[in-house]
Amino acid sequence: MIEQYIEHLDIDGFQRDLIQWYHSVKRDLPWRINQDPYRILVSEIMLQQTQVATVIPYYERFMKLFPTTKGLAMADDQTLLKAWEGLGYYSRARNLRESARMIEEMGGFPKTHEEILKLKGVGPYTAGAVSSIAFDIPVPAVDGNVFRVMSRVCCIYEDIAKAKTRKTFEAVVSRVISHEDPSAFNQGLMELGATICTPKSPKCLQCPVQFYCQAYHQGVDDLLPVKTKATSQTKMKLVVAVVKNQHGEYLVSKRPNTGLLANFYEFLNFEYLGEKEFLVEKLSPICKKVESVQFIGTFNHVFSHRIWEMESYFISIQTGYEEVIAENDYLWISEQQMTDYPLVTAHQRILKNIES
């Protein structure tokens, strides 16, 4: 099956033109300053589900905090999550720390593709990227950009939303990857997909491998890659109460240590099921101390498979709540302390609307 996709491809020419183009136009990105596998691993984990422009400032701050695997391995949850705050998909941060611990136990970063693949949270793409970029091992690193580029170059109509399709693309890339410069080859495919071979309106006239692209010659570049639509997201309506006392402190609680946004802090919130007096009822332990209740607005926060629709209120109280704190593990934190606690991003947005 693989032969049908590459039988008309001049592999040597494709490698040469792609690699020459990459070396001449590659973006100046902080993780490209050397081939340090730890720096590359951190960047690849951060770049999962997150755009380059968003990642850069997080990456630079993270590397200052944790310049080595030893430093990251020793990081506590609060410091780690605060450093990752805003990037989302927080299991990535925990897995990265676990990988750092595994690397420290190994006595150094693993140097084979098979060993790298064993690191926590490292799948076929990340292992391929680290192996090829850091150690020049000629293995495929198939991400969304590579799916798009190779589906067009080779006219592959297999549905990339299906798990089995990855095997097809990995086999194709394995056949065409440069063994002399696998690092530049894989990064060239990624760079091409990010800057030229874009999902919509690809810049075909600027493409360094246009000559080899079957989709371009057949005029079907807009039909590839084939991808079925993802399942719809579930909407959950929540009520969020930002409670502030007379000392200027906010009431927060820590989320469970497993599940969505584990170990992050959040304001008082609960699912709204249509109760008529929902706010008074839920806040009854402090209602007699309430000075004012102000409606802030309704905000949506979108996750991959769910949407939080948050009806939000600012509540000023005079004192107390000690009994509720003791019972529900809440705590008061000052505005200055807000920078020390990882607050869920959805609630950060609500807080900004209060402070503005």
Enzyme catalytic residues = 44
Cα(188)–Cα(184) distance, integer angstroms? 6
Q: Residue 299: what residue type?
A: F
Beta-strand pair 330-334/265-271? unpaired
- Phi-psi sector, 88: left (phi>0), alpha (psi -120 to 50), beta: left
Task: Work out the end-to-end distance of the chain between its first and last CA atoms, rounded to an integer number of angstroms.
Answer: 59
Alpha carbon distances (Å) from 29 to 23, 32, 196: 13, 5, 17
Concatenated DSSP letters for 180-232?
Answer: S-HHHHHHHHHHHHHHTS-SSS--GGG-TTGGG-HHHHHT-GGG-S--PPPPP
Crossing angle for the helix pair 37-46 and 124-135, to the nearest 10 degrees: 150
For the beta carbon of residue 116, count every other beta carbon within 10 angstroms: 25
Backbone angles phi, psi at 208, to 5 degrees: -70, -15
Contact 264, 343 (CB under 8 A): yes
Place of tokens 């693989």: 2
Contact 33, 198 (CB under 8 A): no
Cis peptide before 110 (omega within 30 of 0): no
Beta bridge partners of 243: 315
Alpha carbon distances (Å) from 285 to 190, 288, 312, 319: 55, 8, 19, 12
Cα(303)–Cα(257) distance, integer angstroms? 19
Q: What would the two tokens of residue 163 be?
A: 């798990």
Contact 297, 264 (CB under 8 A): no
